[in-house]
Structure 1
Amino acid sequence: MDSPSDLPYDERRADALITVTAESAVGPAPRVRSAQVLIMDRSLSMSRRKLDEAKRAMCAAIDTLRDGTLLGIVAGNHRAEVIFPPTGGLAVVDARSREDAKLRVIGQLPEGGTAIGQWLDRARDLFTSVDSPGTVRHAVLYTDGKDEHETPEQLGEILASCADRFICHARGLGDDWHHDELLRITQALHGTAEAVVTIADLTEDFTRLMREAQRIVVPRLYLGLRLNSRFQLAFVRQTRPAEADLMVRQLRDGETHVPLGSWPAESRQYQVSLRFDPDTLTVDELLRAARVTLHAEFPDGTRRPCAESAAMVVRRRATPGFGIARSPDLTRVENERELGMAMRACADARLRGDLDRADHELRLATGLAESLGDTARLRLLRAVATTGPDGLPRLRRDASRGQLLRIGVDSTKTVSRPADARELALRDTGLPRVCPRCDTTATNPTAKFCERCGHSLADAGPVDAW
C-alpha cells in the first residue's frame, strides 16, 4: 500500500493506493464451480453478416466451456428471453447440452429494439437460481446499438440490483453503439469494455474471455475499511488496469466492504480517499486513519480475510500545502484520470459535431498521454490527429465513428508503467509484438489480444530487439 503519511496543515483529504495481485496457483488450480451466462443481441440492427458472426462467436465460446460448468443463454432485443436451457435456470454443460445450446443460438433471428438492462436483469435471475455457495458468476454480452428502449434511470436501477451478483464484460460491435453505456455497465459489474469494430474479431475475444473466466478461483473479493471516527470515506476508485468508480458499499461488523469483483492472474490498483476536518488532528501526531483488509469469498460461501491487514497512517504537519511534496504515484493517477476525461470529451464533442471542442480536448489528451508515456492511448489519439492550418494538432475530419468509439471506450484503460523514450520511438518492424498494457510478448504473431491481460494488440509495438 502506498500511503503518504505527511499531510499539509490545511489538507482535508488523505489518499492511499492499494495494489491487489491475483497469482496463478502452483500445480493444479482448485476446481471452483463456474456459472456462465452468454447474452446475445438479436435486435433488428443485427441483420445479415453481423448476426452470423455473432452466432459463430457464441458457439465458439460454448465450445470453450469445460464439462460441469453451469450455462444459460439470453437473447435480447427490447425484451429478454432465456433461449437455453428451455426448462429455466442453468444447465450443466456436457457434450449433449453443448450441442443443444449451439443449435438454439444458431436458430435466432433479428427483430425488435434494444433494452440492455432487461438482458442483465434476466441474467441476474439465472444466477439467482445457483444454490451452491462459492460459485463464480460470469457474464458476457455484445451489442451493436444504443440502449434506446429503456431510460438511463431504468438501466441504473437494474445495474444497482446486479451489483456484486455477477461479473459482466461488454463488447460494442460495429459503430452504432455508445461508449458511455458500455462503460457504465462494466464499471458497475467489474468487467471490461471493448470496441470490436471488425466483427470477425468477436470469436477470438469471446473464447479468450471464457478461458479467463475458468481460471478464476475466488468468486468475490472485497476491500474492507475500518475507519477512525475522525475520517469519512470520500471514494474508492479502481485505477489499474482500467479506471472505475466503485460506488457499492456494504457494512459488516463495523467495517465498510467495497466489492472488487474477481479476476484471473493480474494486478489491480485502487485509490482510497478519506476526508476529514483538519482541526480534529493534532499537529505531528501519528494517527491511524484506517485499517485496510482484503476479504475473499471462499468455496464454502463464507467471507474471510485473505491477506494481512495494512494501516493507513497520517500525520498533520505544521507546513502548508506548498511545503510538502505530493506523492508522484498519486499525481500520476490523477493525471491519468484527467487524460481519460479529455479522451471521452474529445469523442463526445466530435460525435455531436462540436469540432472546436473536439480539437481542444484532443490537444489536452495528447499532451497528457505524452507526459505520462502512455503509449497505448497516445497511439489511439495520434491515429485520429492531423496538423491544422495554425500548426496545432486537430482531429481529422474524416476520422471514422468506430475510431471515436474506441477512443471513448479505451479512455479508462491505464498502463502498468510509464513508457521510456526508446519505446515511444519503436515502429512496426515485423518482430513479435509486445502488449502496451502489461509488456507481455505475444507468442502468436497473428494474435489480436494479449494472452495475459486481454488487451487489444491492434496498436501494439514490436519487441525491443536492440
Structure 2
Amino acid sequence: MGLGFALEVDAPADLPYDEERADALITVTARSVAGPAAGARRAEVLIMDRSLSMAGHKLDEAKRAMCAAVDTLRDGTLLAVVAGHHEAEVIFPATGGLARVDARTREDARLRIAGQLPEGGTAIGRWLACARELFASVDSPATVRHAVLYTDGKDEHETPGQLDEVLASCTDRFVCDARGLGDDWHYTELLRVTEALHGGAEAVVTLSDLTADFTRLMDAAQRIVVPRVYLGLRLNSLFRLAFVRQTRPVEAELTARQQRGEETHIPLGSWPPETRQYQMSLRVDPGSLTVDETLRAARVTLHAEFPDGGRRPCSPTMPMIVRRRSTPGFGIPRSPDLTRVENERELGMAMRACADAHLRGDLDRADRELRLAIGLAQSLGDTTRLRLLRSVAAGGPDGALRLRRDVSRGRILGIGVDSTKTARRAVDAGGPPPREAGLPRVCPRCGTTSTSPTARFCEECGHRYADADLTDRPRDAP
C-alpha cells in the first residue's frame, strides 16, 4: 500500500459504579514504507467558481491559482476541471471524463481555465455531483481521488437539503478540500463539505494568497497514498455505539457514516503519512456489568482498501477493556487526555459562537464568546488559535477584551473555519502549556481579563490557571 499503520487505544479501564458511558481515544499513525507509494494512481478534479460575483480581479486571481494547481500535478495524474455557477460544466478535457496530465494537456487545461467568464449563481452541490460522476469513470479502485473547490459566495441556488443529499452520495467516494474566497460566503457551508468529504477548509481573505495556497494544497494532496481506510468496531453485546468523532488534526463528526454489518466500519477517508486521533464513546447500562469483572467492551481494527479493491485489516486488533468499580458515588478521575479533547471541542464551539454572533450583529455576545475562547486557548496552550483570536481582539472601554469594531467579515469567517482545527500538544502531560509572553490572562470560567499577564488566579472568581504553580495556591482558592 505504501503505508504502514499503527493503532493505539487509550481508555480508562475503571468505570464508576453508576457510570453509563465508556470513552476511548484512538490514535492512528500512518508511516511511509519502502516501495509502491510512487506507483499510486491519482485522479484530481479542480472546481472553479465562475459565478457572476467572481467578476474582475477576483476571477483573474482564481484563474492564476487554478493554473498553478495544474502545473503542480505530476505527469500521469488523471485530471478534470469543472467550472461552476448555478450549473456545473466540465471545461477540461473538452471530451469530458478525465485526461492524463502531460505537457500538452497542461497547456490545454490552462487555456480553458483562462477563457472562463463570470455568469450565474452558486450551487456547490451540483459541482460536487459533477465531480462524483467524473471520479466514477475511473475503473481502478486503487486510485486516489481528490477534489478541491473555492467559492466566493453563498450556496443560494440549492436548498440545504439538496446539498446534504449530494454530500451523502459523495461520502467515501472522494476527498475534497474547500476554500472561501473574500468575505461573502458562509463558513458553515464549507465545513459541511469538508466534514462529509474528509477535507480541510480555509479562508483566503487576501486574493493574491490563493495561488500559493493552491500550490501547497496540491503538494499535500500528492502525498496521499491509501485511497480509503476504515475504523472497524466489534462491540460487546452489552454496549452500544454513541458516537465516533475525529478530534485531531481537524474535528469532524463521523457517527452518521457508519456502515453496519458483522463489524461496524467507520470511513476515515484517504491517507498520507500522518497521525490522526478519534474519540469513541460507548453507552452501557451499569446494572448489566458485574462489579470488579474485567470486560472487553470493544475490539478495534483498521481496514484499508488494497490495490485489488479488497478491504482487509491493516493493523492488529486492539481491545478496549473496562471494569465496573464497587463503590457507589465514588468518582474516578477522568482521563487528562479525554478532558483535553473535550476542552478543545468547547474552544471550537466558542469560536463558532463568536463568529455567528458577530455575523448577525450581536456584538455583546460575540465579545463574551471571544473572551471565553481566548481563555480556553490559553489553558490548552493552543498558540495557533490563540494567535488568531488575539489578532481580532482589542481592549474595550471597561478594560475587557472585545472584538475589534473594524474587523473585516473575512477575518470573522476565518475564525469560524479555523474553529475545527486542533493543535498537537506542545508539551508533555506533566508540563505547563506555553503562553505568549506579555498577554493578559482571560479566565475560561468567568471571562474576566486579569490586570497582570503573570497572574496565577482569576481576580474575580479565584479560578486557578492551567500553568499556575500549585505551591502558590492561596489557602482559600477553589
* Length-normalised TM-score, structure 2: 0.87
Structure 2 distance, partners of 1:421, 1:10, is 33
Distance 1:404 1:250, change over 3 A: closer
SS in 1 for 2:237: coil
Contact 1:31 1:217 in 2 (8 A): no
Structure 2 distance, partners of 1:352, 1:55, is 32
Whether 1:102 and 2:106 are equivalent positions in the alignment is: no
Task: Kindly name which structure, 1 or 2, has the bigger radius of gyration based on alpha carbons.
Answer: 2
SS in 2 for 1:265: coil
SS in 2 for 1:329: helix
Aligned letter for 2:436? L
Structure 2 distance, partners of 1:320, 1:270, is 30
SS in 2 for 1:346: helix
Distance 1:298 1:323, change over 3 A: same
Whether 1:178 and 2:190 are equivalent positions in the alignment is: no
Structure 2 distance, partners of 1:404, 1:251, is 36
Distance 1:319 1:179, change over 3 A: farther
Contact 1:43 1:111 in 2 (8 A): yes
SS in 1 for 2:217: helix
- Superposed, which structure 2 residues align to 1:424-443 within 5 Å? 424-425=436-437
Structure 2 distance, partners of 1:179, 1:109, is 25
The one of 363, 367, 370 equivalent to 2:371 is: 363
- Superposed, which structure 2 residues align to 1:256-335 within 5 Å? 256-320=264-328, 323-335=331-343
Structure 1 distance, partners of 2:170, 2:330, is 44
- Superposed, which structure 2 residues align to 1:54-453 within 5 Å? 54-251=62-259, 254-320=262-328, 323-418=331-426, 424-425=436-437
Residue range with higher mean Cα deviation, 336-345 or 214-223:
214-223
The runs of 5 or more residues in structure 1 that have no matched partner are 428-466
Aligned letter for 1:209? L
Contact 2:242 2:283 in 1 (8 A): yes
Q: 1:30: how far off?
A: 3.7
Aligned letter for 1:228? N
Residue range with higher mean Cα deviation, 391-400 or 323-332:
391-400
Q: 1:55: how far off?
A: 0.7
The runs of 5 or more residues in structure 2 that have no matched partner are 1-8, 440-478
Q: 1:28: how far off?
A: 6.9
Structure 1 distance, partners of 2:184, 2:330, is 48
Q: 1:242: how far off?
A: 0.9
Contact 1:249 1:256 in 2 (8 A): no
Aligned letter for 2:39? R
Structure 1 distance, partners of 2:433, 2:233, is 39
Identical amino acids, percent of aligned pairs: 77
Q: 1:422: how far off?
A: 5.5
SS in 1 for 2:422: coil
Distance 1:357 1:87, change over 3 A: same
SS in 1 for 2:384: helix
Structure 2 distance, partners of 1:405, 1:371, is 24
Structure 1 distance, partners of 2:385, 2:220, is 24
Residue range with higher mean Cα deviation, 412-421 or 263-272:
412-421
Q: 1:262: how far off?
A: 1.6
Contact 1:372 1:418 in 2 (8 A): no
Structure 1 distance, partners of 2:329, 2:233, is 27
Contact 1:386 1:396 in 2 (8 A): yes
Aligned letter for 1:174? G
CA RMSD of aligned residues (A): 1.6
* Length-normalised TM-score, structure 1: 0.89
